[in-house]
Amino acid sequence: MRNSQLLLSCGYKHAHADHRLFIKSHGSDFTALIIYVDDIVLPGNSVQEIDDIKCILHSNFHIKDLGQLKYFLGIEVAHSTKGISLCQRKYCLDLLKDTACLAANHPLHQWIVPFAFMLIVSRHLRLTFVLKSS
């Protein structure tokens, strides 16, 4: 059984905005399941539903639970008692490192900066597309 068929049979609905997003709600309980390549993010307020769907997924696909979300698509997720915060610090530092912008005194810096700008813009557009695609 494909993952989408399995999720639909468990009461999840495909989100209209994104084919990788599945949603299940019942009363005040809400669970979302986001699939990106071989990663699954499972946020929700029903611990029982999260445990149930993880068990079902594991019995069908042998998934591995990596615990609380720390990184996803280059976004760092920090947990606290007040909730979560999202940060792209590592992603931005990696961009600067990849484009040699951290070495501003490099002899080729005047040619590297325009290339770096184009690379940063293309990565940002790709990330924006991934997060906002329909």
Token pair of 119 as six digits: 């690379």
The predicted structure's pLDDT at residue 131: 43
Q: Is the pTM of this model over 0.85?
A: no
Quote the CA–CA distance of 86 and 41 in Å, as a whole number: 15
How far apart are alpha carbons 61 and 24 in whole angstroms?
20
pLDDT of residue 12: 95
Query: For position 77, what pLDDT does the model report?
Result: 86
Which residues in the chain come in under a pLDDT of 70?
Answer: 1, 99-134
Distance CA 46, CA 53 (A): 11
Please tell me the predicted confidence (pLDDT) of residue 75. 82
Compute the distance between CA of residue 131 and CA of residue 108 in angstroms, rounded to an integer.
Answer: 34
pLDDT in the model for residue 134 = 39
